[in-house]
Amino acid sequence: MKKGMIVAVLFVLTGISFIGYGLFEKISMDRKTEAALKDAVSITKGMGGKDVPDKKERPKKPDDFAPEIGEVVGLLKIPRLEAELPIVEGTDPAELEKGVGHFKGASFPGEEGQIVFSGHRDTVFLRLGELEIGDKFYVNMPYGEYMYEIYDSKIVDEDDRTVITLQKEKEDLLLTTCYPFTLTGAAPERYILYAKPVDSR
């Protein structure tokens, strides 16, 4: 076999290997997300489908609610995208393989402060860019259901440290993912959606 042919075959085999590995990783991640979703639905059972209380009567987060890293903590429901996504404590790669990650140290629904949810732009937040100002979504926790409305969006540098403040003055929720959405590889920016708590009326 000629040297050129050998090189071509090696390139093809290498490409197939990369594709196969990527497909394996995608299937593995999908299975982890599916398992986490079942857990999320189970722990929030009975919280959806009810009238969401007005802002002043929103259920408070129990003082003893302190999930461990990797634990499924809730369910993110986005009607516009027809999506139900598991929320997992932590935002490291292992947690983001399961679903939407809750930034450790950030507030939770039902308490004052900044709530931060992050997800991969090529999995759970693949369609995040389709959401618009005024769109509403729900966060179901084991202790209550909460409605939020998107009021702003922003694109920032990946190293911007002014977005996640972990302030404790008022309830505010951020959905974050890498940007641009269509870029392959490491993304230089972050896409942020800001949402405020609202009542059901």
pLDDT in tens, 129-141: 999 999 999 999 9
Residue among 80, 104, 120, 196 flagged as catalytic: 120
Predicted local distance difference test score (pLDDT) of residue 24: 42
How many angstroms separate the Cα of 90 from the Cα of each of 65, 72, 101, 104, 140? 15, 10, 5, 5, 17
How many domains would you assign to the chain?
A: 1
How sure is the predictor about 10, in pLDDT bands with cuts at 50, 70 and 90?
low
Alpha carbon distance 196, 137 (integer Å): 10
Please check the confidence at residue 85 and state whether its pLDDT lies above 90: yes
Which residue range forms the structural domain that includes residue 112?
A: 3-197
Average pLDDT of 106-126? 97
Helix, strand, coil percentages for the chain (3-state, nearest 5): 25, 30, 45
Residue of higher predicted confidence among 30 and 200: 30
Average pLDDT of 100-116? 98
Give the sign of the dihedral formed by CA 97, CA 100, CA 105, CA 110: negative
Predicted local distance difference test score (pLDDT) of residue 20: 45
Average pLDDT of 74-91? 98
Residue among 178, 192, 193, 195 flagged as catalytic: 178
Predicted local distance difference test score (pLDDT) of residue 168: 96
102 is catalytic: no
**pTM across the whole model:** 0.81
Predicted local distance difference test score (pLDDT) of residue 57: 73
DSSP strands (E only) in the chain: 72-78, 83-89, 100-102, 114-118, 136-141, 144-157, 172-179, 189-197
120 is catalytic: yes
As a whole number, the mean pLDDT across the chain is 87
Predicted local distance difference test score (pLDDT) of residue 11: 56
Beta strand pairing call for 114-118 and 172-179? parallel
- The tens digit of pLDDT for each residue in 15-74 reads 444 444 444 444 545 789 999 999 999 999 876 655 454 445 789 999 999 999 999 999
Please check the confidence at residue 13 and state whether its pLDDT lies above 80: no
Residue of higher predicted confidence among 172 and 185: 172
CATH code of the domain covering residue 27: 2.40.260.10
Predicted local distance difference test score (pLDDT) of residue 46: 72
